[in-house]
Structure 1
Amino acid sequence: MPATTATKTTDVVELILRDHRRMEELFRAMRNVQADRAGALQEFAALLVAHAEAEESEVYPALRRFKNVDDEDVEHSVHEHQEGNEALLALLEVEDTGSEEWDEKLEELVTAVNHHADEEERTLLNDARENVPDERRAELGAAFEEARGRHLAADCGSVENVRRLVEGSSH
């Protein structure tokens, strides 16, 4: 089913995939020395945190209730969100976007997030497509969008908030 950019979907699987593709675009911008790397990182940080928090509060608990969705995949995804937050914090703390340290921390972030997105797409999202009815995926999508928007409005990608998330989960 071809989708145009004007198509508004609330299917949670499609919304999550849309965020994953936007993150890939932002990675390309952050790798480009002529781009606004700091601006791309700000957008990326907010998107990554809002996306992960919305998945954990709205999507993952619901997916656990479907018998053909693997609980271990859900737990693994939560763990990978934490790894993503840790890699994000390390990059946010680099002051010079033109430095070698920036490039190194960026690649660590790219590796962590791309690994997670790839696994999530092959496991949880495929399971959701197969086992969760369309109406339920639409309800989850609406809840995901609402939670994601709330986090974005709260400046969830700030270095202070990412630091709180990383410190809060290490206890």
Structure 2
Amino acid sequence: MTTKVEKSVEVDVPVRTAYNQWTQFEEFPDFMGGVESVTQRDDRTLHWVAAIAGVRREWDAEILEQVPDEKVAWAATSGATNAGAVHFIPNGPGQTLVTLHLEFEPEGLVEKAGDALNVVERQTEADLANFKSFIESRGAETGAWRGEVRAGSALGTPGVADTVPPGQDVVDVLTADHREVAGLIGEIWTTQDPGERRDLADTAIAELVRHAVAEEMYVYPAMRKHLADGDEAVEHDVEEHQQLEELMKQFEGVEGSDPRFNELLRKLDTVLADHISDEETKHFPQLRAALPESELVELAGKVESAKKLAPTRPHPAAPNHELFHKLVGPGVGMVDRLRDKLTGRTTS
């Protein structure tokens, strides 16, 4: 079973100082318990040697995203199954909130026993406390790397030209998403095999989560700005997103043969149908009328790019707004995709 840990610490140094110090990966053993060494092989690749719950492990990790003064996100590529992200947020004059997200898969009896005892959670708290002491006692970083690694850059993240078919704008893209999810739900109703029903449900959930996140990142800010009743329309749509996320969260672990499966599917189908009707009959036509074609096409590209990095699982406790998705969403999405790979969950 995958384990998630999220801890924060406030450090009394500016964001730039805290971030700069974190980029000195080879100095992690100075404040991270159990880490014997970190070797930086190039701008994106690290080799770790550490003791996890008393077991010595080695693994390679790739930096997936590194944005100066904002975040560093990574995932293991061999030797272990873990991923994480650290975020740096200004928290007053000369202060920074450092938040560390970790997700990993304990391996072997010793690690699983250690995980059961919350060893990793306690170690994470201790590591952040040590980082605070380390950087505050110095008052300055030991070094810095101010380059950037953008999410998906090494894989050639497609831009507007090669993600959106010619002649399509953001309304076309979002409407196609609606049709895809509605079609998946229709397949679930007509499929009898419990395993197939569960796989179809997982695919629908992943598509709907990605769609909702992309809307909240780029479409809803445009609606607020350009529609006469933009704030009211967005609040209504966000409330429906929240209802959908809560239903999807309940739906996640229910087997296709469970009587609750049909009950939750029916509720999800009802809320989704109402949401689609509101957007397609009211909000989308208003948005298309308010924005020039070039901006609608540009929004389509942003939506498609956002969906590639967005979470694939519902997180109803997370804020449904643009800033959260841009700061934290890619790290959450990376962890979700890692979990999907580990569990064999169907997302497409």
- Shorter chain as normaliser: what TM range? 0.7 to 0.9
Distance 1:67 1:146 in 2: 24
Sequence identity, in percent? 30
Q: Which residue of 1 aligns with 2:249?
A: 89
Query: CA shift at 1:168, angstroms?
Result: 2.9
**How big is the shift at 1:62?**
1.7
Report the CA distance between 1:75 and its aligned residue. Answer: 1.2
Q: How does 1:9-158 map to 2 (within 5 A)?
A: 9-34=167-192, 36-68=196-228, 70-94=230-254, 96-151=255-310, 156-158=311-313
- From the two aligned structures, give the one with the greater strand fraction: 2
In the aligned structure 2, how far is the partner of 1:116 from the partner of 1:66? 20
Offset at residue 10 of structure 1 (A): 4.1
Q: Deviations over 1:32-59 (max 9, x none)?
A: 2335111111111111110000000111
Q: Deviations over 1:57-89 (max 9, x none)?
A: 111112211143532011110111010101111
Greater Rg by CA: 2
Q: Residue type of the partner of 1:29? A: E
Gap change, CA 1:80 and 1:33, over 3 Å in 2: same
TM-score by length of 1: 0.83
SS of 2:202's partner is: helix
1:168 is aligned with what amino acid? A
Give, in whole Å, the separation in 1 of the partners of 2:227 and 2:218.
17
Distance 1:81 1:9 in 2: 28
- Contact 1:27–1:110 (CA<8 Å) still a contact in 2? yes
Q: Give the aligned CA root-mean-square deviation in angstroms.
A: 2.0
C-alpha separation in 1, matches of 2:317 and 2:267? 19
What's the secondary structure of 1:34's corresponding residue?
Answer: coil
Unaligned runs of 5+ in 2: 1-164, 321-348
Q: Distance in 2 between matches of 1:133 and 1:59?
A: 14
CA contact (8 A) 2:244 2:271 kept: yes
SS in 2 for 1:166: coil
Contact 1:54-1:144 at 8 Å conserved across structures? yes
Q: CA deviation at 1:132?
A: 1.2
Number of equivalences: 155
- What is the letter of the counterpart of residue 122 of structure 1? T
In the alignment, is the contact (CA less than 8 A) between 1:69 and 1:124 conserved in 2?
no
1:167 alignment counterpart:
317
2:305 counterpart letter in structure 1: E
Name whichever of 28-37 and 71-80 sits farther off.
Answer: 28-37
1:63–1:31 CA distance, 2 compared to 1 (3 A): same
* Cα shift at 1:99: 2.4
After superposition, the C-alpha distances for 1:78-129 in whole angstroms (9 at most, x for unaligned) are: 11101010111111131x2022211001001111111111111112101012
Cα distance in 1 for residues equivalent to 2:167 and 2:181? 19
Q: TM-score, normalized by length of structure 2?
A: 0.42
Contact 1:12–1:144 (CA<8 Å) still a contact in 2? yes
Instruction: Tell me: CA distance 1:100–1:108, structure 2 relative to 1, closer, same or farther (3 Å).
Output: same
Deviation for aligned residue 1:169:
4.5
